[in-house]
Amino acid sequence: LLTETRRAWGYTIVNAGRSVEDLSAYGFERFGATRAVLLHADAVVAVCAATPVGVLRFFDWLAAFRTLGRDIPVFVVFNRAPSKKFVRAQLETQLFEHVNGVILAGHCFVPEDPAVAAAEWEGRLVARGGFTKAMASLADQIAPSFRTAAEPTRGRTPKATKPAKPGRPVRPNEGTRWS
């Protein structure tokens, strides 16, 4: 299915599962579809809760993803991010202290937007607001050609995303133990 969609369209976006572990050694295949998608992905966007627990879960996922042997950098989205600059700075600090910058394509913050819940309840598209602006900026960063002439950027430059910090050496065991 994925091969056919990749042939038919320029971009195929897949919401993959959060577990990547290979459990085939235990006699059953689980999470194989997620691993297959990640093994063939041209870009990987990891979405995590903008909380301390969300960041720890992202680190756990990233460690499992790296066992797949993929060398592509990951773009991190902090979902439902508080608007407080201090909180965002703390999230960035955790990210850059525990993840080698070489494996990060960048990151962005998607704000909590009541329009998302309203659209979900009403079964309609999300109205313009913080969420849609962040999604447009994310698309601009990951796949600039998503935009067509019918969807001009109106001269704006993406502001919700920040490039990854340059690579730095990782201390032994850094980012590999979680409690």
pLDDT tens column, 68-90? 888 888 999 999 999 999 999 99
pLDDT for the residue 23:
65
* Vertex 17 angle, CA 16 and 23, to 5°: 120
pLDDT exceeding 90 applies to what percent of the chain? Answer: 44
Question: For 45-65, what is the mean pLDDT?
Answer: 94
Calculate ∠ Cα 169-20-134, nearest 5°. 70
- What are the angstrom distances between the C-alpha of 44 and each of 26, 27, 106? 28, 29, 11
Q: Rounded to two decimals, what is the model's pTM?
A: 0.73
> CA-CA distances (angstroms) from residue 63 to 19, 98, 175?
11, 11, 8
Contact 106, 139 (CB under 8 A): no
Q: At what angle do helices 85-98 and 52-66 cross, to 10 degrees?
A: 30
